[in-house]
Amino acid sequence: MRLIWAYVLLFCLAGKERKMRNLTEIRWHGRGGQGAKTAALLLADVAFQAGMHVQGFPEYGPERMGAPITAYDRISAKPIRVHSNIYEPDFVAVVDDTLLHSVDVTAGLKEDGGILINTEKSAEEIVPMLKGYKGKIYLLDAHKVCMATLGKYFPNTPMLAAMVKISGVMDTEAFLKDMEGSLQHKFARKPEVLEGNMKALRLALEEVKECQ
Amino acid sequence: MAIRTRMSGNEAVAHAIKQINPDVMPAFPITPSTEIPQFVASMIANGEVDTEFIPVESEHSAMSATMGASAAGVRAITATSSCGLALMWEVLYVAASSRLPIVMALVNRGLTGPLNINAEHSDSMGARDSGWIQIYAENNQEAYDNFLQAHRIAEHKDVQLPVMICQDGFITSHAVENITLWEDEPIKRFVGEYHPEHYLLNENEPMAVGPYAVSSYCMEAKKAQAQAMMNAKQVILDVAKEFEEVTGQHYGLFEGYQLEDAEYAVVAIGSVCGTIKDSIDALREKGVKVGLLKVRVFRPFPGKEMAEALKHCKAIGIMDRAESYSGNGGPLGAELTAALYQAKVTAETVNIMYGLSGRDVRVEDMEEVFGWLEKMAAGELHFDEYPYLGLRTR
């Protein structure tokens, strides 16, 4: 009997394993200065810590504060050789909802994936702007999260946490542990910044909501 | 023990510089290579290296100061991109003909214009006849490994020429990817100490560097320089072999990927080669015999060796990331086609212009190119003009 349960457990784990994508491709849309590129590079960093092969890279134009920018992540169990931009992402993150008017954020986005939008607006206002996208839609009010935890608006920190959660590229507990380690290193002389960032990450994991 | 980590191509080159700890680095910032002198400046401030950093007012000065330091008898390096390399032009030739073993990190970016900051090979390809050895990288790992081998090649007594270690701007310089770093001690032993045979500050051997040469001496000096470039081929292979003994990484003049039995082959340089490898795997699954020849060393040009490796192919696509505005294709196309003719290789060839000013190349684009090659071999397709890959039609 015990053996049967062990098999059942093994089967469930294998099933969970199968659900993980071999290659996860993520596209970030933001405005220059909001940290979308940093978020992409941080995501590559934590995925590397979790033992994955990673690629995190920005697409550069005439960058300036406020201009739309794009950044990308590839996260894979196998070495990554391709060096092109991502046209059919599994997930998209939109760090600034004003981009929904000017950028085709769901272009090529897979329907079995999802889009994460940082907004203070309601689902009723946002969903009609996504051109009938059939996949999952997640909303996060990063401003609210930031003000409650950091007292300043750095949307990339909560967006990073929310992306880890919705994409399932790694376990959220392992993610929090890795982030604590790297933030401790980064803000060795500013422990108060570490605490605020950790709170922002945790709150974002709770606050991100699936609305479709 | 190797250290598995992740970093950008620029960080990887900076890490190589940290392990080499060169004596002098004059540099002037230009995108996308700016981070390299920035990282080195931080390492100096942190006491991790004792390199003398010389902030200069232009790239012409950067190369002049690098030359001065190298002539004085120390290891001298610099880094640049695009218009920065163009401003060094005059001094590039002087450095090479003075036989100075300078090492430069070149982060490839197109020359203006239109003004653009993205990956293209027009900067280094423009300098292809300046007498510098040129070694290219597909990814951050190769940029790192190539830089570690550069001093050994440049300083070899049969060579004594400057070396350019090239990587694609932004595509590899700013992309964070997995990388394996090598421990300091074996690398320091591999790179070794630099003891120049002749140098300006040797009080026992007064000498001039870069004097006027009359016509009855000039041509012999140039032939000696050309011979050194030819000698570099074997030295590059010998240094690569030693590097493999230390790290397990294999490098040659070029890399063949699924090339041995390939009917249709593409020849390319740099980061696009990773994308090409993915397209080859996809096509091989469908049973199409496709392959890649990735050029690592462009100067000296391994024409004979490449022709030998390609002679069994039915059709060859030669990819250039730099226009020559010659009306006759790009530099790799022109030189490899000549080498194939000399070796009596009669495969169909087409020179393809791609990736100018950072124009993206996808796996699907490369599958299209291999489709062209199949049709060319079957006599169903012929290009009157060399094609531009991914050119917008509206």
pLDDT digits (tens, 9 = 90+) for B318-361: 999 999 999 999 999 999 999 999 999 999 999 999 999 999 99
- Residue A50, classified by CB atoms within 10 Å of its CB into exposed (0-12), middle (13-18) or buried (19+), is middle
pLDDT tops 50 at residue B280? yes
Residues of B in contact with A54 (CB under 8 A): 6, 176-178
Instruction: Find the domain containing B68 and state its range.
Output: 3-247
| A22-207 carries CATH number 3.40.920.10 | yes
Measure in Å the smallest separation between the Cα of B364 and chain A Cα atoms: 10
Is residue B389 situated within a structural domain?
Answer: no
Same domain, B116 and B30: yes
Q: Verify that B197 and B293 share a domain, yes or no.
A: no
Q: Closest Cα of chain A to B299: distance in Å?
A: 24
- Whether residues B213 and B231 share a domain: the answer is yes
C-alpha to C-alpha distances, A140 to A36, A206, B295, nearest whole angstrom:
15, 10, 47
Same domain, B144 and B288: no
Q: Domain end: B247, B272, B289, which one?
A: B247
- Give the CATH number of the domain where residue B90 resides: 3.40.50.970
Q: Which of A122, A168, A199 is nearest to A24 (CA)?
A: A168
**B209 & B293 share domain:** no
Task: Kindly state the average pLDDT of the residues B75-81.
Answer: 98
- What's residue A7's pLDDT? 52
Q: In this structure, are B274 and B231 located in the same domain? A: no
Residue A32: CB partners within 8 Å, gap ≥ 6? A63, A64, A65, A66, A67, A68, A69
**Each residue of B133-143: pLDDT tens digit?**
999 999 999 99
Q: How many domains in chain B? A: 2
Task: Assess whether B15 and B44 both reside in one domain.
Answer: yes
CA dist list (Å): A187 to A184, A190, A192, B307: 5, 5, 9, 55
CATH no. for residue B313? 3.40.50.920
Give the Å distances, CA to CA, from A93 to A24, A117, B224, B249. 13, 6, 58, 37
**Closest Cβ–Cβ partner in A56, A81, A87 for B175:** A56
Are residues B177 and B287 located together in one domain of the fold?
no
- Using a CB-CB distance cutoff of 8 angstroms, which residues of chain A are in contact with residue B255? none
ipTM confidence score: 0.94
Domain boundary among B229, B247, B265: B247
Residues B72 and B192 in one domain: yes
- Position B140 in a domain: yes
Residue B354 included in any domain = yes
| Residue A186, pLDDT score | 75
B386 assigned to some structural domain: no
Tell me, yes or no, whether B315 lies in a domain: yes
Going by C-alpha positions, the residue among A43, A54, A50, A147 that lies closest to residue A92 is A43
Q: Are B221 and B90 contained in the same domain?
A: yes
Q: Could you tell me if A83 lies within 8 Å of chain B, comparing CB atoms?
A: yes
Beta strands per DSSP E along A3-107: 23-31, 53-59, 68-76, 91-94
User: Residue B52 falls within a domain, yes or no?
Assistant: yes
